[in-house]
Each structure stands twice: as structure tokens, then as C-alpha cells.
Amino acid sequence: MTVDAQILSALRESDAVSGADLAQRLGISRAAIWARIEDLRKLGFDIEASPHHGYRLSESPDMLLADDLVARLGEDVVIGREIIVYRETASTNDIVERLAREGAAEGLVVFAESQSKGRGRLGRRWHSPPGMGLFFSVLLRPKLRPMEATQLTVAAATALVRAIDRTSGVRAEIKWPNDLLVDGRKLAGVLTELSAELDTIKHVTLGIGLDVNQSAADFPPELRSIATSLRIASGQRVMRPDLATAVLQELGKDYARIVRGDFEQVADEWEARCTTIGRNVVIRVGDREVRGRAESLDHDGALIVRTQHGRQERIIGGDVSLEK
């Protein structure tokens, strides 16, 4: 951890901590602690100082700051062991892909307050206005076969559902393969991109876009009838650092389950929150159209559809519509 991250971590561990204790813990002078506290205040952290009790963190800004997120997560984590935050970038997936090729460790997370070329599945653009959502990508290096990569999309969806419920009280539903919906409108999406050789995954870039504090007017006109945000769904603003921390914590739990070979547990949770299972669907896979009833996920995370002719088909990706 950086010095700032260690200071924020110490402030969150107790109601108040003295400058002397911080100096001893971090191995720097009290003057250096005071200087770092002043810089944190300039970033928007409300840090009170008392001659008798020391420093106390009373309020944090609604900003994504790498040191703050690292401090919230702690040191004993895989996902979030390194965090980078950009004010603006083209695509966090592109940055993680480049860093992965350069040898970055698993668990790296790249956030952007705004993306100019954010994308979802099938090359669709993801609207990413500054300071209103969570737009980020995670680098994973799982020991999975390429055909099992869908497990990671499933895990991301279940982790998002739990984190959203935990921080906002909003109950989101999952639409296969990668969307989260509230009242039929899209709240979040997951984009899984992988680099593989033969039967081995080299790395996976897991991209997530989650609309948090947008009002209806913040969406382009063409999205207002199909998109939503946690602010719209809950009627109140959500602190994005709290939500980001919860998402990374929950994603870490589900990734650990997959690494242990417990995907079945994740799949059961996914099916319980999925609006696709048990419904008649139309899935477009390239130029082909599959019609039938969505029955379940298989052991790799693919969707099992029983067609109109009674045959089971295994679908790993496509554009799905629910029939009424």
C-alpha cells in the first residue's frame, strides 16, 4: 500500500488515531503524516483533528481514488491487489489487455471516471458519462479451458447482484448472457474478452459497466426507455466508492469459488436471479436463430435451450429476446 492508502486504512480501522501512532505505524515523521493528511483533505476527505484524540475520518468524497479503494479492500485480496483510476480513457478493457500482455499480475483493476469508447457485447457502445457510474475492467488468469470462460461472466453477474443489493437495496435481475435489469431496463453489463492458446486461457479481461447516479436526463434520448440507474431505481444517490468496494469484494468471493471448482454453487445462485431461465427465448447467433425454452446452465456456464423440436442446444453467446 502507498502511504495515503495506509493512512486511510488506519483511519477506517478505529474512531480516531493519533499522529504519533500513525508515524510509528508507517515509519515516517509526524510532519510527513500531517502533510499527507492535508493532501487527503484537498481531495475531499473530511479528516477532523483533535489534540486529545488525534485524527478522525468523518466523510469521504464520491470519487474513485485508487488509494482509497485499496485501503477499503485491505491487503489480503486477489481482485483489487492493484488498482489504477483514470479520469478519462478510451476503454478500460483496452488498457487491461495491454497491461496483461506486458505481464501484469492477476487481480489488477482499472477504473475510469469516463470512457470515450466504452463498449459492450457485439461492439455496442456503452454510454459512460463522467462521475456517474462504475466503468472498470479486471485482469484474471484462471486455470480454465477457453470453453469455461463463460463461468466468469456468470460469476460477475452474481457478484454485481449481491453488491447492488447490499449497498442500495435495489433487487436487480440477470438476463442471459451478461445484462442486469431493473424493471426490464438495463442497469449493468459484463463484457468478457479472453486471450487463449489451444486448450489454455492465457488471461481474461472482465469489463463491467454499471449505471449508478444518472438521472433520466443524463441518458441520450435513444437510451431513456431502455436504460436505468441505481439512482432512478432507488430514488437516492449511491456512494460509488462504497459500491465499487462491495463489487470487488463480492467478485473476489465468486472468483475464489470458481478457482476451487465450485462453479455449481455460483450457477445455482445465478439461476435463482435470472429472468431467462424457464422462458421461451429467441437467440440470434450470427446468422442463425435458435427458438426454444431456456432450461439451465451447463457445467461450463453455457445456456441449455430445448428447441421447438425437442432437441437440446448448448449456447455460449448470442443476442437473446424473451418471448411473451
Q: Is residue 241 domain-shared with residue 305, that is, in the same domain?
A: no
pLDDT at 118 over 70: no
Q: Is residue 48 domain-shared with residue 154, that is, in the same domain?
A: no
* The pLDDT of residue 247: 98
Is the CB of residue 77 less than 8 Å from the CB of residue 1? Answer: no
Domain that holds residue 31: 3-59
Q: Is residue 240 domain-shared with residue 256, that is, in the same domain?
A: yes
Is the CB of residue 168 less than 8 Å from the CB of residue 243? Answer: yes
Q: Is residue 55 domain-shared with residue 101, that is, in the same domain?
A: no
Q: Is residue 81 domain-shared with residue 118, that is, in the same domain?
A: yes
Q: Is residue 177 domain-shared with residue 200, that is, in the same domain?
A: yes
75 vs 306, residue with greater confidence: 306
Scored b (16 or more CB within 10 A) or e, 24-43 reads eebebeeeebeebbeebeee
Q: DSSP state, 177?
A: T
Q: Is residue 218 domain-shared with residue 315, that is, in the same domain?
A: no
> What pLDDT, in 10s, does the model give residues 270-318?
999 998 898 898 988 888 889 999 998 888 888 999 998 889 988 887 7
Write down the mean pLDDT value for the chain. Answer: 91
Q: Is residue 84 domain-shared with residue 122, that is, in the same domain?
A: yes
* The pLDDT of residue 181: 96
The answer to whether the Cα torsion of 296, 299, 302, 306 is positive or negative is negative
What value does the CA radius of gyration of the chain take, rounded to a whole number of Å? 21
Q: E strand or H helix at 284, and its extent?
A: strand 280-285
The total number of structural domains in the chain stands at 3
Scored b (16 or more CB within 10 A) or e, 203-223 reads bbbbbbbbbbbbeeebbeeeb
CATH of the domain at 115: 3.30.930.10
Q: Is residue 192 domain-shared with residue 162, that is, in the same domain?
A: yes
pLDDT band at 138; cut points 50, 70, 90: very high
Q: Is residue 188 domain-shared with residue 239, that is, in the same domain?
A: yes
Q: Of 234, 252, 272, which one is at a domain's C-terminal end?
A: 272
> What pLDDT, in 10s, does the model give residues 143-181?
999 989 999 999 999 999 999 999 999 999 999 878 999
CATH of the domain at 299: 2.30.30.100
Q: Is residue 32 domain-shared with residue 118, that is, in the same domain?
A: no
pLDDT band at 121; cut points 50, 70, 90: low
